[in-house]
Structure 1
């Protein structure tokens, strides 16, 4: 991808998000000056960047949005829901266009029509004369093309041509001279001109009041040149020109074959993924690499001494010192690389207010949406992987959780439902919650739906607690929606949330109180690339357990292990905890003689601590974890694998999944 285009895509994403944030803030406080000025700057900058490329439809829409924002900024009134809807629709379409450009390098074929439609909708919000608005958006009325052909000297010759023609309508801006544009020179640059018509854009004032520095032209022309050649001539004024490819017919008329003034272009591969990093973090990496080079040279010096037969005791001391230095540097380098990959939740959270607003508007519900913990950081893969599951959860909160306004008022609640998206750091994990104060989950309705759809046998449903019943919302194919819509009822969503969380190495849980609301919680690791594990022994084998889930380790005498029905428990500091033997979870035969005491890893499973009995503790280590692949992909109870120093494979276990 061209470097300039790649830079445009990165900048466009940021400007689109900034404009979205400002417009939503402006909707909350129409008199606020800061978001108005910021939104205008974002759209103006984006429109200027688009002008460097052959994306005329996008420039047309953004130009209209800029004019509308400029008008609103001057008169400071008229900012209502329809105006914000129109502006957000333009920004949303621009975002979709940028995504397509990132993949293909060009706009889709229908971009011209969509750009004109958006521009007309935006300019309809202005107080200006509708006739002027129609010209300003370079309207898609194509009758002028037939008129131009009919007024040409020899329309029969036009129709007899085998090659298609190009129709041009160029309406220079009034201040185009101050931008260095020369409309007549541009027109003369068009090769193979066949017809030209000049007219005034606005009515002419009296002769004495004509401003010689203001352009009042409208230029229409026909050319037999190639479409790409014509578009290249007008590439710096894309918001002022519309170009159509027309196919002459045998009757001497021109039929429009395509309207793609901004769609043609050279195909470009998908854009590379980029990550903006604080320069201080890069400097830290560079410093650590420099120290690693010094450590490598010290090790090379020791290797040379060994080759020359130096004293072994002296060499052993040097090797130990070198090993300690390299171990320290690797740990610091690991931390520095993780810092580079860390992104604030703000990067993903900022995309949700508009989605919540659109969903609420579609369903006719009032929503008071807020976000907390946007500064919490997590690995880039975790942050980016959260978009789809959180979008599902927020749509469910609006569609299923929030009651209609009249029902909320009848139950004594505020008219608008409250939905909170929050993130917080929890030791070596990050917790993300979606909370609403809606109707809550009715366990009876869940049981009824599960019974009707055969998700759980009837006898099993009767034995389930309310908490276990509510967990069924994550079952594949489960939905309580009475009918299928574009938002719910297809039996996907919550199942996708759990699958996404598990792919990221996390878990999802639900807590709800009928009539008071629901909270969906995702608990995720800070990173899925490098992690800390504790190696535990089971017989002669080693297994890894992620350190972020371990609360403590303990030695429990056999006398403190208590049988509880068909399970076991133990007493730790006057508290009784459930005991699970790792050998039983992995279906490994127990040793012939039971030990006198148990080595126990106390872990957080859900909201409760659980003891995991192992044969011994090995060491704590930083590992580069690889997810399971091939025929082992999806193996339950295994997060991934890593290689140990001796070349053996260490399996890293997902204890909560094994217990579940």
Structure 2
């Protein structure tokens, strides 16, 4: 993919999002002229960018959207649900097409037909009169075709072979010159022209009132070339041309076999390929990185000078002092470089949050639900991988909040609630974690319904389900394949439920939980690490080997006396500050031989596994460190219980364990 197309994709996504935000704001408050102007500018700029490429269907639809927004800006139209729906449909199609261009370098095969349909839908919203900036595409009228055929000289071989001809009626827009169109040049590019007729589109005004910058012609022509060749000549103006393939019959009868407009949408010189990975970064953060690199170079030179002095016989005490000082400087710079790189990767939650208002609106519209959606904490930042990885799970949670949580308006009014269901998406920072919540004030989760569905689907045994508390039962919504939907729709009932949310969040190193109050609503809580690139771990020893455990799941470490370790139904537990916790031996989880048990007690890592605390017995604790974790690849990719690996200072490989997965 060339650089120009790559920049177009980045800019197009930003403009599409800006237009979406403004249109949704206009729907809430049509009197806000600032949003109308901003939406117009976004669409206008996007249309101009599209003009650099051979994406005619996009330009056709965007031109119609720009005209409609222009009418609204001039106060000659009314902003209502139909107008917003049409504009959002157009913007949504642009987003889909930009994704296709990013993947393949060209528009899909049905883009021409869809672009024409969108343009017709948008122009149907325009009021009749001079405000309509572009003439409607004339319907096929075979009268003008017959007249052209009668006046033209069709070669005898063509008449004998009954070879189809192509008839063209091209009505340029009045402002076509400002769009860079040259109607006569387009006409001359049509191959095998056999007849041409020019006429005025509208009656000519008095000579003194003629606008020399407005086009007022209609071009009709016949060509002996193929239909595709003629369509290619008019691929940039498909909204202004009608193309008919004429099949000659006996006598004066002609039939229109195929009609336009149609156009292909291939990007010139654009090669297909995978999606581009780009990240926009504040220039100040790049400057900080450059400064740190400069300091690193100075530190490297100082170390090189020290090494040369060591070769010249520098005193051992002075050498040791110099090495310690150099190490301290390098340690400081590495720590600052780490923070600076993390800052570069940080993205505000706004980058994905702003994609949800339209999604919630569309889902609510499909289900006929009245939703009051709001967002909080959009400025909270997290690692790029965390922010981007949250889109799918959050979309699923919001879909559930609308589909399952929101009640019909009459039921809410009967219950003394506002007519519209309130759904809040919020993010906040909590130490080294990012907390994301989706809260609604709907019907809540019915534990009895969850119990019934869990029994029917065999999620757990009937006895276990009966012993569970209501809070534990509600957590069963995260069980694989669990769903309470009675029928399959586009939104639910396909056996892919909240388990997919929990799995996606856990892949990011996070946890998912839910709280609910019957009749008062539910809150899905996601806790995620601030970054997934650098991981702080604690090394532990077990059976003579060294393993890493992520510190974000470690609550504390403790030494448990042997007297506090109790056997419980073939397992073990221990008492920690008057609280009984389950005890699991890491050697057993890793299928390693148990070491000899010390009589005095055990060293235990207390970890949070879900909503419970569990003690992990180890042989010993080693150092805590920040490491660059690499995911498992090759035959170990997807191995249960392994998060990744890192290299230690001596060059050995340290395996980093996913203890909750090992226990599960």
Q: Give the CA deviation at 1:454.
A: 2.2
Equivalent residue of 2:127, what SS? coil
For 1:91, the equivalent position in structure 2 comes to 91
8 Å Cα contact 1:195/1:222 also seen in 2: yes
Residues 171 and 240, structure 1, Cα contact 8 Å, conserved in 2: no
Distance 1:189 1:377, change over 3 A: same
Quote how far apart the aligned CAs of 1:650 are: 1.6
Offset of 1:139 from its aligned partner?
6.5
Alpha-carbon deviations, 1:300-327, whole Å to 9, x = none? 3333334444433333333333233222
Residues in 1 aligned to 2:139 and 2:652: alpha-carbon distance in whole angstroms: 68
User: Is 34-43 or 550-559 further displaced after alignment?
Assistant: 550-559
1:2-39 deviation line (CA, Å, top 9, x unaligned): 22222111111000000000000000000011111100
Deviation at 1:234, TM superposition (A): 6.2
- Once the 2 structures are TM-superposed, how far is the Cα of residue 397 of structure 1 from its aligned partner? 0.9
In 1, Cα distance between the equivalents of 2:560 and 2:583? 13
Of 347, 351, 355, the residue aligned with 1:351 is 355
TM-aligned CA distance change 1:365 to 1:314, over 3 Å: same
Deviates more, 1:289-298 or 1:61-70: 289-298
Distance 2:497 2:124 in 1: 38
Provide structure 2 residue ranges, at least 5 long, that are not aligned to the other structure: none
Shift of 1:278: 0.9
- For the pair 1:385 / 2:393, whether they are aligned, the reply is no
| Shift of residue 493, structure 1, vs aligned partner | 2.9
TM-superposed CA distance for 1:406, in Å, is 1.4
State the distance in 2 between where 1:384 and 1:113 align. 33
Farther-moved stretch of structure 1 (460-469 vs 553-562): 553-562
Answer whether contact 2:199 2:218 (CA < 8 A) is retained: yes
Is the contact made by 2:241 and 2:260 (CA closer than 8 Å) also made in structure 1?
no
User: C-alpha displacement at 1:654, in angstroms?
Assistant: 2.6
- Taking the aligned partners of 1:631 and 1:199, their CA distance within structure 2 comes to 73
Show structure 1 runs of 5+ residues with no match: none
Number of the residue aligned with 1:487: 491
Deviation at 1:615, TM superposition (A): 3.3
1:371 is matched with 375
Equivalent residue, structure 2, for 1:320: 324
Verify the 8 A CA contact 1:173 1:215 in the aligned structure 2: yes
Query: Given the alignment of the two structures, is residue 523 of structure 1 paired with residue 527 of structure 2, yes or no?
Result: yes
Aligned CA distance change for structure 1 residues 385 and 649 (closer, same or farther; 3 Å)? same
CA contact (8 A) 1:168 1:241 kept: no
Q: TM-score, normalised by structure 2?
A: 0.89
Deviations for 1:407-462, whole angstroms, at most 9, x for unmatched residues? Answer: 11122211111111111112212121111111111122122122222232223322
Aligned CA distance change for structure 1 residues 438 and 262 (closer, same or farther; 3 Å): same
Q: Assess, with a 3 A threshold, how the Cα gap between structure 1 residues 258 and 454 changes in structure 2: closer, same or farther.
A: farther
Per the TM alignment, residue 84 of structure 1 is displaced from its structure 2 partner at its CA by 0.6
* Contact 1:68 1:123 (8 Å CA) reproduced: yes
Aligned length: 656
The reply on whether 1:269 has 2:272 as its aligned counterpart is yes
Q: From the superposition, tell whether residues 11 and 170 of structure 1 become closer, same or farther in structure 2 (CA, over 3 Å).
A: farther
Counterpart of 1:426 in structure 2 is 430
Shift of residue 545, structure 1, vs aligned partner: 1.8
Matches of 2:138 and 2:557, distance apart in 1: 73
Structure-2 residue corresponding to 1:13: 13
> Which has the larger displacement, 633-642 or 174-183?
174-183
| Cα shift at 1:645 | 1.8
Shift of the alpha carbon at 1:135?
6.1
Deviation at 1:128, TM superposition (A): 1.4
Residue 437 of structure 2 aligns to a residue in which SS?
strand
Counterpart mapping for 1:99-178 below 5 A:
99-129=99-129, 136=135, 138=137, 150=149, 153-155=152-154, 169-177=169-177
Which residue number in structure 2 is paired with residue 635 of structure 1?
A: 639
Do the aligned partners of residues 119 and 645 (structure 1) sit closer, same or farther apart at CA in structure 2, a change above 3 Å counting? same
Name which of structure 1's ranges 331-340 and 296-305 shifts more when overlaid on structure 2.
Answer: 296-305
Q: Is the 1:167–1:244 contact (alpha carbons within 8 Å) kept by the matching residues of 2?
A: yes
2:622 counterpart of 1:618: yes
The answer to whether the 8 A contact 1:55-1:238 is kept is no
- Do 1:59 and 1:239's aligned partners in 2 also have CA atoms closer than 8 Å? no
Structure 1 stretch displaced more, 634-643 or 483-492: 634-643
State the SS of the aligned residue for 1:623: strand
Question: 1:65/1:593 Cα in 2 relative to 1: closer, same or farther (>3 Å)?
Answer: closer
Find the counterpart in structure 2 of residue 216 from structure 1: 216
Q: Is 1:570 paired with 2:575?
A: yes
Normalised to the residue count of structure 1, the TM-score between the two structures is: 0.90
* More moved, 360-369 vs 407-416: 407-416
Looking at structure 1, the residues matched to 308 and 101 of structure 2 have their Cα atoms a distance apart, in angstroms, of 56
Q: Is residue 244–residue 256 contact of structure 2 (8 Å, CA) maintained in 1?
A: no
Match of 1:294 in 2: 298
Instruction: Report deviation, 1:86.
Output: 0.6
In 2: Cα distance, 1:118 partner to 1:129 partner: 21
Distance in 2 (alpha carbons) for counterparts of 1:462 and 1:597: 37
Partner of 2:39: 39
Q: CA deviation at 1:188?
A: 3.5
**Alpha-carbon distance between aligned partners in 1 of 2:315 and 2:641, rounded to the nearest angstrom:** 50
1:452-467 aligned within 5 A = 452-467=456-471
For 2:476 and 2:537, the matched residues in 1 are separated by 31
Q: Distance in 2 between matches of 1:451 and 1:430?
A: 35
Q: What SS does structure 2 have at the residue aligned with 1:472?
A: helix
Root mean square deviation, CA, Å: 3.3
Structure 1 residues 481, 274: closer, same or farther in 2, change over 3 A?
A: same
Name which of structure 1's ranges 465-474 and 491-500 shifts more when overlaid on structure 2. 465-474
Alignment partner, residue 408 of structure 2: 404
Tell me the equivalent position of 1:436: 440
Q: Is the 8 A contact 1:295 1:322 kept in 2?
A: yes
What is the CA distance between 1:358 and its match in structure 2? Answer: 0.6
| Alpha-carbon distance between aligned partners in 1 of 2:112 and 2:144, rounded to the nearest angstrom | 16
SS in 2 for 1:533: strand
Alignment partner, residue 329 of structure 1: 333
Question: Contact 2:162 / 2:248 at 8 angstroms: preserved in 1?
Answer: no
Partner of 2:74: 74
1:30 and 2:35 aligned: no
Distance in 2 between residues matched to 1:147 and 1:133, nearest whole Å: 30
The one-character-per-residue Cα deviations of 1:23-71 (angstroms, maximum 9, x if unpaired) are 0000000001111110011111111111222111111111111111111
Flag the 1:143–1:269 CA change in 2: closer, same or farther, 3 A: farther
